[in-house]
Each structure stands twice: as C-alpha cells, then as structure tokens.
Structure 1
Amino acid sequence: MTSTDPDWWRGAVIYQVYPRSFQDSDGDGIGDLRGVTARLDHIASLGVDAIWVSPFFKSPMADMGYDVSDYRDVDPMFGTIADFDALLAGAHARGMKVIIDQVLSHSSDQHAWFRESRRDRTNPKADWYVWADPKPDGTAPNNWLSIFGGPAWEWDGTRMQYYMHSFLASQPDFNFHNPEVCDALLDIMRFWLDRGVDGFRLDACNHYFHDAALRDNPPAPRAAGHDVPDTNPYGFQEHLYDKTQPENLPFLQRIRALLDEYPGSVAVGEVGDGDRSPATVGLYTGGGDKLHFCYTFDLFGSDFAPAMFRTTVEKFDEATRDGWVCWALSNHDVPRHATRFARKGDDPARIARMALAILIALRGAICLYQGEELALPEAEIAFEDLRDPYGIRFWPAFKGRDGCRTPMPWTDGEHGGFSTATPWLPVPPEHRARAVEVQEADRRSVLHFYREALAFRRNSRALQSGDLDFIETDEDFLAFTRRHGREQLLCLYNFSREPRDWPLPADFVTAFVERCSAPGITTNRKTIRMPALGWAFLRRL
C-alpha cells in the first residue's frame, strides 16, 4: 500500500520513467505503458517512493509527447486509458505513488483548441493562445526567442497575426491571462486526480504567463548563467518578460487549492530560470500555498566539484526558507551524469556511485532518471539516427537529447531486451554490457549499490528531513552534517583523483557506516583515509 502521510514527498525518492524508452510490449520498437507495468518490480526493487511518468498523451510527437493534442487520452503509441489505469494500480499495489507530467504552458498546434483559435479573431477560443499583430514593417511583435532556436513568434496567414511559441513553432503558448484557459487546464488536472494519480510534474511551470505588454527582453550579461548552451541564441537574452511573471503566483495557488482537495497529492514544478532559479523556487514553494517542491537545472552541468555542490545547495537553502527542492543529476533533457561528471580515465561506475552518495544526503526530495542505476553513459548517436528536433537544429555544436533517451537495457541480448523489433533509437553495445540482467548477477554492481544507498537514506530520518550544515575544508573535500533529533551523520566526499587524509572531528566515531561508504577507507583516532573519489558516512558518538 502507498503511504497515507500527507508529507510523504519531503524526503521522497522519485524515479523518472520515459515510457518511449522503457519497455516495448507490442514489438513496434517503441516503449509503452504496458511495458512500464511489466517492469514495475524492477522500479519497486530500488526502494523508491514514487514514479514520474513522462508524457503519454495523444500527440503528433513533434517534441516526443511534450506537444499534447489531447490531454485526456493516451496516444495509441503508448496504449489506452485502461493501460494507464493498470499501471496506476500496479504501482499502488507495490507501494509507489504515480506522478504524471502536465505540459500546461503550451499545446500542440494540432489540439482542437488551437485549430479553433487560429480560425479567426472572433471565435470562442480566439484569445486562448498568445496572438499579436506584427510591427508596422511586418516583423514579429518583439524580440523574444524560442528555446529551440529562432524567434518565439510564428506568422499565421489565416488570422494574419503572429502567435507565440516558447519551444517549437508547433507548440503554441497558451494565454494564461484569459481566465477560461486557467479553468480549462485545472479541469484537466482534476480529470487525472479523479483517476487516482498522486500528483503532477509541471513542465516549464515558470513559462505560464508572459508580459501582457510584450516588452522586449534586454541582453543578458555575458557572465550570467544560461538555461541552454551558448550555441543557442536564447541564452543571449535576460528573460525578464517572456516567463516568470508575477501573475504566475495566483495560478500556482489555484493548483495547490485543487491538490488540497485530494489529500496526499503533490505538485513538483520544473523551473529553468538561470541565475534567478533559487529565488523563483523560493517564491513558488514558499508559504505552503503554492507548489510542494520544485525541480531545477542547477546540478545538470559538467562541474563535478565540492564548490559547485556547496554553492548550489547554499543558494537554494537561503532562497527557500520554508520551501522544498527536488534534486536530480540527470533527466531526459541533459547528457547522463556518468558521462558529464567524468574526466578522462574515470570509471563511470565510480562516478555514478559517488554522485548517488551525494544525492541521497542532500536535504530535499531526490529524483532518479531511468538507467542511472546502471551507470549508463551518454550514448553516441549518429546524425542520421537523431529524432530530437533540438539536436537536429543545433548539430554538431550541440547533439541534442537523444543520447540520454536511448532504450533501457534489460539484457545483454539483441536490442537489450527492450524490444523484439528495431528500437526507435539504437541500444549501444556499452549499454547492453551494463544491462539489468548483467548487474543483477553481480553483487558489487552499481544497481545493487543503488538499492543499498536508497535503503540507507530511507532508514535515516537525518538524511530524509534533517538539517544540513557544511563544514569548512579544503577544495578537494565536500563535508557536511545531517541532523535530526539524536541522529547525526557526517557526510564526507573526496573529489581528488588521489587518496587523501581528512582530520576527524572529535565528536564523531572513527568507525564509518560500512554498508554505504566507499571501499578502501581506513581510520584511526584522528584521521580518516579516503580513497580517490571516495565517500564516507560517520555517526556521531
């Protein structure tokens, strides 16, 4: 049975399933909902609290399901509503909650609402999307840019106006300034809550409202952080007016009020807001009347260093006094962290173990992306095999997102046991060598370490919800304590590629927690000897 604790989400571990790449049940080369249901035992064996299922709604698949044409139905590619209900029941029977993606900032241009909206300027849904007249010279209404490249405006020759799209031109943005739009989208969420889902991952939730005056964005300071690589001109602007508007807060409060009608249901928002992300997360999760927690891009870089982790955590701690963060190292939009964090000569399995040892010790919820429990590296995809419109647009400077979306390898056989047909993306040989079946047979594998580490977190109130305090140390070490009541843990990480000694605080025992600490650690009364890329958890006397 699933937890009845309304605060279950605070220290939760969430497992992201990308259905297209998880398991194919019908031999068409594409994963589906029945495939996910068939593999629920694997997810449950990790000891997670919930699964987040990426979009499975009806869609022309221009952006792999993040362009929804019917929010209340399952795309035939993935199965049927009955298949979703079976997945939901199967997860609940195994004690796991189910969170589904809600892509509310935009729809597909094939959605019935947009087809009606573009017909003329007087129809009942004429104002459901962001339409604007051209400038006198015929150019776009302002300088806003699409994340997927080029202007955020597309000319429509039927209405003789431009419409706004923050992503692909086939993903028009809703006009949240229209109350009818907000009501309709909340009704969609109620539909899924009534079916029994336990919450929502809100895609691009700071993109809901735009500046009603359509003011131009200013140039971005070149030293500022950006949501996307500098190969994309989107990063050249400071996005003051096309997203993260103050009108968003009352709508988030309406979402929370809806969820409060369904005790235990939650909303986790995706926030990509550059340097403003901590402040935005603080606004969106503060006060207990908006989102429960937020998911950010701040650990999705390639910097695997103590200063990065400490600086990031401290920024969010300062900005989210009574809010909550969901930490993640990988997802369906970024290269896998076993590759991102590794230097030349590093063992991806070692990187994966150490990264998880950090993740389980952070204050907040945590999210795992399918395949990271196998230490899968980023797949190299040939240009002719690309499916991601983002990758195709920016190739070769940016290779897109297909490298992290390849099918889950279950066996070392043909297609990794994912499908009996040729998969929609290839399964690399190095992934098949790390397949679930292979790692199940090896007690020293990353898969078994994931189970042990998540059990360690689950059995520790300090790691789930305790206070976190950093300890000053040198640049090669990350050290902090987690404290809840009488339980106090010292979490210590050596980022050096050489063994290092670290002085032990007098009030911590010299015996480390062997089950989750790295092998090769030795201690005496005064120091702990840490192996290269090593970690240790120590209990206070």
Structure 2
Amino acid sequence: MFEEADTGQEAVMPEETTADRDWWRGAVIYQIYPRSFNDSNNDGIGDLNGVTARLDYIASLGVDAIWLSPFFTSPMDDFGYDVSDYEDVDPMFGSLADFDRMTRAAHERGLKVMIDLVISHTSDQHAWFKESRASKDNPKADWYVWADGKPDGTPPNNWLSLFGGPAWEWDSRRCQFYMHNFLTSQPDLNFHNREVQDAVLDVARFWLDRGVDGFRLDTVNFYFHDAELRDNPPLNSDGAPSTVDPTNPYGFQNHIYDKTRPENLVFLERFRALLDKYPGATSVGEIGADGQAVELTASYTEENKRIHMAYSFDLLTPQHSAAYIRRIVEEMNAGIGSGWASWALSNHDVQRVASRWGAGKNPAKFAPLGAALCASLRGTPCLYQGEELGLPQVEVPFEKLQDPYGIRFWPEYKGRDGCRTPMPWVKNNANGGFSDAEPWLPVASEHLQLAAFEQDKDEGSILNRNRAFFAWRQDKTPLRKGDMVFLESPEETLVFTRSFDDATILCAFNLSAEPATITLEGLTLEDLGAPGFTGTADGGTISLQGLDACFAKVKS
C-alpha cells in the first residue's frame, strides 16, 4: 500500500542541464483530473492534497510528468475550464500553499509538473469580464469579443457554440452580443488586443515562477477569431456533419473564421519566447480541427519556434483498426516536419479506450497492449488517470449527470461524466477509497474490482504490467526519441521500427484476439523480452498471441 507523501521538507531541485531541456520528447505524461483523483478532506471532491498523497503511486508507474486539469478559482459551470481567477486555487481544491507543497513533492520524486492553461476564454465571473461588460469605453471594453447584432436583432453571424446553439449571447448592460465558443458563461477573450496577450502571458509567468514545468494549452487553435466576423460556410454541400455526434449542429460548419486563424501563430511565438526563459519548460497544445490535424501540428510545433508538441483527437475516436491507426500515424509522421506530436487514447473528454476500442476484448490483455502501443509511437504519450488500471467507461444515470454538455444532448450523447468518475483505490469500500463522503460522481461497482491497491497485490495485474513496461521503456532511447517507419504486416497487426543514432527497435502489435505470425524478409531480430508481453522474435519471424506485442532489436 502506498503511504501519503511526506512533504515536510523543502525540495532541492537539481541543476538544469542541456539534456533536461529536452525531457518532454517521448516522456510519458500522466493526466490527473483533480476533482476525481483523491479526496483528502472528505467533501466528495478530489483536491491537491489528495494528489500529493498519491505521488508515490504515480511515481511507481514509471511516468515522467503529471498534467493537472484546471484547479483555478472558478464557478465550476464547466468544472474549472471556466476560470474566474488565473492566479489562485479554488478553495474546493485547496490553496496556493497546497499547490506549492504538491509541486515540491512531485519534483522530489523526479516528476515534472504541467498544468492546464485555459486562456481562449474565461468565466463570466472573472474580474476582466465584469469590467469589460460594464460599458463600451472602460479600460477592458475590448478585452472580449463584442459585436452589435444585425438590424433585426439577431446575432452578428452564424457562428455556433460547441455546446449547442449560437456562439453569441446578448448582454443587456452593453446592449451587444459577446462571443462564446463553449458555454454562455465562458466568454471568449479578444486576442487581437495586445493587452490581452500580455495579460495571459503574465499568467503563464506567474505559474512558471512557482515552479511548474510546462502547460497543456486548452483549445490552442481557438485563441483568435476573424476580425471581420465573416460567416462560416457549410462543411459539405450535402449537409453532412463532420463529427461523430450528428446531434450537434456545430459539425455542419467549416470553421474557418471562428478559430484556427493565422494570427495565432504569431502569438504562439510570443508564448514560446516566454517559455524559453525557463530552461526545461514545455507545452502541449490541444488542437480541435477536423481534417487539419497534421497541418496544424506541423505549424504549431515547428521546432524552437512555437509550442513544443500538440495532440489532436484522431486516436480519440471510435475508429481503431490497424489500418486506421497506421494511416493516422503515417500521415502525421510524413507531414509534421520539424514538429512533434503527442498521442493519447483516453482523456477527460472522450469515452475511455477500454470501452471505446476494447469492447468485447479481454481487458486484461487489451489495456496493457493499448498503453504500450501509445507509448511506442513517435511522439509523447499521455496516460489518463485510471487507464493504467484498464478502467472501462461508466454509465452514469441522467439524474446523476453533472456535465452540461451531456445534459444538453441527452440521451443521444451522454456527455463526459462517464470518463470522469472517481479513481478506485480500494476494493471493499462503496466509494473505492476515494472519499468518506458521497463523491460528486458515483464510483462504478465494476471499477472496484480494478482498484489500484487491489491490483498492486497481483504481479500479473493490468497495473503491474503497465508499470513493468514503462520502467523497461525508460532507457530505450529509440522508443522515446527515434524516427518511425511502418513495415508491411498481416491485417490487424502493426509493425514498425523506431531508430535513434545507430540503435533500432522493432515493435509489433497484434490487435486481434487470434494468434499471428509475421515473417520479415531481410531483418535479423534479437528479442528484447519486453515485460508483460509473450510475443517472441526469432531471426526474422515474430510470433504473437492474441492482443500481444513483441519488441526486438534490429541487428545490423
């Protein structure tokens, strides 16, 4: 059992080295959704002290960094993604002192700390917005996207909110509309205003000065809008939506004017210049753009120029055939140029991969396979809390839903609560050891059987197989930083090499439940015995059981 982390002494940070500045390339980042991770004060909501108490557990996973979803002061309309004070901790999560203790404790354990930076919009309770909406001539009047309506009183244009309905809300104080890409209580900042850019850079500087090692940039391509407020055209002439959720009209538009504007590149250069003043500081951006993932990742992560890495939703979809995965990854590798991708199979916004890709498959085999695959692709893998346990998606009943997105589109779309339920720590407890109080979302009974401390006792558990693999991967430089080339292989298998300097590792994955034998002409392989998998390499032949993997050194 993992004990609460000792934070009684100040951490002594190692001197920064040139190598440390590149730590993020191929690092494993563990995403924490704080309100669902661990509750230290028994109010039913996870908190920063709860994270600190589980740092030994996190360090045992063999990951390199943690990324915390928002913990800033917020009315919690969108559970922290609506920030009302960027430079303080919401009392439900603790205090700035608690954050500092957590950061020191993480650094003591060799873990980098990354935090979510949500700067495309704020809460309507933020002091900036309160001042902005007060009049048309106050010092912050132009800090948000304001516009007059059409002569008939309708919104300025046809832009839509991701959460349903128009992206414009009428404000009776200014008698104007303000733009919101998400909830009406999340007004968009006006990045065309240089003062806004300076203010959000000051926010980043505030947290860098407190010792954070980097940022995950929420909706990084949403910062700028078209200054002329031109209408978005329809995506397809036949009216077909782009998204997997046809219930949301947002997917019917080609979003060329309300996001992904060229001015964003210039701001990201300013952002990178700030990060470069803090050796080792890094950034990973969330790109939400149908059909543009490769192009935007390449431009947004151009080496030494803008952000360090970015991820899209291309592997967060229901599609998961070997052919689909290969196509997505090959297109990224071919088009990314000097940039760097980040890959994830689960996060706080999508159905858990154990259910989305693993439905009908043996979870004890599929979960470690998925984690190893993600960590073997060229890029930086993100592991979402509970993914290391193989947690499936939870069916949250309507009366227990908290997510405004799910409530709006129920029952065709059930929202994001099913992937946000509390972490199960112990088996014989209705709340899974997460809290002594009723949790903000229910703990699923099927999760109790997969509780972390229960799996800790079983050497062959999903948890321990993932730990063993990530520990084994640590010194495999080709898997962290190497180039990647796919090789031809049978259907429902993926075979590729990762090469760095003179070392090449071949990776083979069988996504089918049936055994597979792969013969590779012209290659001589030496089995590396990756823990947790039974696949073998003998000469040029790879033998894989169902849902199995093999890693081998390519001998020259």
Q: Is TM > 0.5 for Structure 1 vs Structure 2? A: yes
Aligned equivalent of 2:167 = 152
> Is 1:535 aligned with 2:549?
yes
Contact conserved, 1:227 with 1:297, CA < 8 A, in 2? no
How far apart in 2 are the matches of 1:337 and 1:107?
30
Contact conserved, 1:15 with 1:50, CA < 8 A, in 2? yes
Which of residues 232, 248, 261 is equivalent to 1:217? 232
Please identify, of 335-344 and 321-330, the stretch whose mean Cα deviation from structure 2 is larger.
Answer: 335-344
How far apart in 1 are the matches of 2:499 and 2:241?
32
How far apart in 1 are the matches of 2:223 and 2:197?
10
Contact conserved, 2:425 with 2:453, CA < 8 A, in 1? yes
How far apart in 1 are the matches of 2:412 and 2:67?
31
Aligned equivalent of 1:451 = 467
SS in 1 for 2:302: helix
SS in 2 for 1:99: strand
Please give the residue correspondences for 1:358-437 in structure 2 after superposition, counting only pairs within 5 Å: 358-412=373-427, 413-437=429-453
How far apart in 1 are the matches of 2:515 and 2:482?
30
How far apart in 2 are the matches of 1:92 and 1:462?
26
Which of residues 259, 262, 265 is equivalent to 1:243? 259
SS in 1 for 2:88: strand
Contact conserved, 1:227 with 1:272, CA < 8 A, in 2? no
Change (3 A) 1:226 1:450: farther
Deviation at 1:525, TM superposition (A): 5.0
Q: Render the CA deviation track for 1:114-148: whole Å, top value 9, x for unaligned.
A: 11111111111111100010011111100000000
Q: Render the CA deviation track for 1:62-110: whole Å, top value 9, x for unaligned.
A: 0000000000110000010100000110101111111111100000000
Change (3 A) 1:526 1:73: closer
Change (3 A) 1:287 1:47: closer
> Is 1:174 aligned with 2:189?
yes
Contact conserved, 1:16 with 1:331, CA < 8 A, in 2? yes
Contact conserved, 2:537 with 2:552, CA < 8 A, in 1? no
> Is 1:202 aligned with 2:217?
yes
Aligned residue identity for 2:372: A
Please give the residue correspondences for 1:19-58 in structure 2 after superposition, counting only pairs within 5 Å: 19-58=34-73
SS in 2 for 1:493: strand
Change (3 A) 1:10 1:526: closer
Unaligned runs of 5+ in 2: 1-12
> Is 1:296 aligned with 2:312?
yes
Q: Render the CA deviation track for 1:386-422: whole Å, top value 9, x for unaligned.
A: 0000010111111100000000111012300000101
Contact conserved, 1:339 with 1:348, CA < 8 A, in 2? no
Q: Percent identity?
A: 57
SS in 2 for 1:119: coil
Deviation at 1:523, TM superposition (A): 6.0
Contact conserved, 2:72 with 2:85, CA < 8 A, in 1? yes
Which of residues 521, 529, 534 is equivalent to 1:514? 529
Contact conserved, 1:483 with 1:489, CA < 8 A, in 2? yes
Contact conserved, 1:360 with 1:453, CA < 8 A, in 2? no
Deviation at 1:225, TM superposition (A): 8.2
Contact conserved, 1:144 with 1:217, CA < 8 A, in 2? yes
SS in 1 for 2:455: helix
* Cα RMSD, aligned residues only: 1.6
How far apart in 1 are the matches of 2:388 and 2:350?
16
Aligned residue identity for 1:277: A
How far apart in 2 are the matches of 1:98 and 1:257?
20
How far apart in 1 are the matches of 2:56 and 2:135?
51
Deviation at 1:228, TM superposition (A): 5.7
Q: Render the CA deviation track for 1:330-354: whole Å, top value 9, x for unaligned.
A: 110001001000243x122322111
SS in 2 for 1:417: coil
Unaligned runs of 5+ in 1: none
Aligned equivalent of 2:208 = 193
> Is 1:281 aligned with 2:281?
no
> Is 1:350 aligned with 2:382?
no
How far apart in 1 are the matches of 2:190 and 2:536?
60
Contact conserved, 1:228 with 1:234, CA < 8 A, in 2? no
Q: Render the CA deviation track for 1:504-524: whole Å, top value 9, x for unaligned.
A: 444223x533233623x4665
Change (3 A) 1:228 1:125: farther
Change (3 A) 1:223 1:306: farther
Under a length normalisation based on structure 2, what TM-score does the superposition of the two structures give? 0.94
Aligned equivalent of 2:6 = none
How far apart in 2 are the matches of 1:172 and 1:108?
7
How far apart in 2 are the matches of 1:74 and 1:14?
22
Please identify, of 450-459 and 45-54, the stretch whose mean Cα deviation from structure 2 is larger.
Answer: 450-459
Please identify, of 228-237 and 325-334, the stretch whose mean Cα deviation from structure 2 is larger.
Answer: 228-237
How far apart in 2 are the matches of 1:499 and 1:105?
48
How far apart in 1 are the matches of 2:282 and 2:424?
31
Which of residues 61, 66, 84 is equivalent to 1:69? 84
Aligned residue identity for 1:393: R
How far apart in 1 are the matches of 2:316 and 2:476?
26
Q: Render the CA deviation track for 1:266-293: whole Å, top value 9, x for unaligned.
A: 1111111110111011110114211011
Change (3 A) 1:522 1:121: closer
SS in 2 for 1:129: coil
SS in 2 for 1:302: coil
Q: Render the CA deviation track for 1:157-189: whole Å, top value 9, x for unaligned.
A: 111111000000000000011111111111111
Stretches of 4+ aligned residues off by more than 6 angstroms = 222-225
Deviation at 1:527, TM superposition (A): 3.4
Aligned equivalent of 2:356 = 340
